[in-house]
Amino acid sequence: MRILGLVVPALLILNTPAIAVEFKGQNIDGQKLPARAYYYATGGVYKVQVIFDKQLAKIYFEDGNQITIRLNNPVIVDSNNIEGFGKLGQYPVSNILSVGLAYDNDWTNTTGSQLQQSNSLEGLWRISLD
């Protein structure tokens, strides 16, 4: 019975309902919308299509690449300022965990140094709906 008392609350916590992405009081999950994506780390602006799904946004680039980011807020107040976090090759599983491949931008480094400089804006995106 003790195990059941621990398992049931854990299952309830894991099965909390997901919040749909809202804009002007309307659920916009599942709609493919034209947008621009700004990547803070490089300053690049990309013409994209975006599909929202609960607290995630899947960004589709014109060249066929895509990235999934976790939105900072599932309620969109300003359609030109939708921020989220995600890295190429990673899929966000929770607020603090993502899974996928880790890309090493300096794979040709022959010095043997394992230290890499980190850009504090790496992974931060801003979406502006058209």
Average per-residue pLDDT for the chain: 77
Query: What's 85's DSSP letter?
Result: E
User: What would the pLDDT profile of 68-103 be if each residue is shown by its tens digit?
Assistant: 999 999 999 999 999 999 876 665 666 555 555 555
Q: Can you give the length of the chain in residues?
A: 130
- Tell me what pLDDT residue 10 has: 52
Give the single-character DSSP code of 109: -
Domain boundaries, the chain: 17-106+119-129
Task: Give the helix/strand (H/E) hosting 66.
Answer: strand 66-71
Q: What confidence score (pLDDT) does residue 19 get?
A: 80
Whether residue 31 is predicted with pLDDT greater than 60 in this model: the reply is yes
Degrees, nearest 5: CA angle 59-29-39: 25
Q: Helix or strand or coil: residue 35?
A: strand
Whole-prediction pTM value?
Answer: 0.68
